[in-house]
């Protein structure tokens, strides 16, 4: 079965984060899984030397302090971030026009998936995302 590879999960909701982690592990879709409770922690990790190997970021849109779009903007502006994977944007409610436009303008390949994550959506996402296996 095709996996998502090295996955970074960024979600401020503890219950959603734990449920997503459990589902990814149950489906064996992540070769490695790192979880972050907020965008700032994820950005700090992405700016480290070891983060360049991430294949997929499962990114919550609606987070306090720094939302998902602001994280992608910070990653794009940072000279330290070397990310060339795919962003799977998790949406629990409709996106505002500003957020939709902002995500579309980001230089990263992306897909939008519902939140909470389901097995069906994760399996479909795994088949859609290009990987150099």
The torsion defined by the Cα of 69, 97, 17 and 115, in degrees rounded to 10, comes to -150
Is pLDDT above 60 for 133? Answer: no
User: What pLDDT is recorded for position 50?
Assistant: 65
pTM comes to 0.89
Please give the residue that has the higher pLDDT: either 32 or 111.
32
How many whole angstroms separate alpha carbon 80 and alpha carbon 6?
19
| CATH numbers and ranges of domains, the chain | 5-126 (3.40.50.2300)
């Amino acid at each position: 079965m095709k996996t998502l590879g090295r996955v970074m999960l960024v979600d401020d909701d503890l219950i959603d984060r734990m449920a997503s982690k459990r589902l990814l592990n149950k489906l064996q879709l992540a070769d490695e899984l790192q979880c972050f409770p907020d965008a700032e922690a994820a950005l700090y990790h992405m700016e480290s030397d070891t983060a360049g190997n991430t294949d997929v970021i499962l990114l919550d849109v609606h987070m306090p302090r720094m939302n998902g779009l602001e994280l992608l903007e910070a990653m794009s502006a940072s000279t330290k971030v070397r990310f060339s994977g795919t962003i799977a944007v998790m949406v629990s409610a409709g996106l505002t026009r500003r957020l939709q436009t902002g995500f579309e303008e980001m230089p990263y390949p992306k897909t939008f998936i519902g939140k909470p994550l389901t097995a069906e959506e994760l399996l479909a996402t795994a088949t859609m995302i290009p990987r150099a296996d």
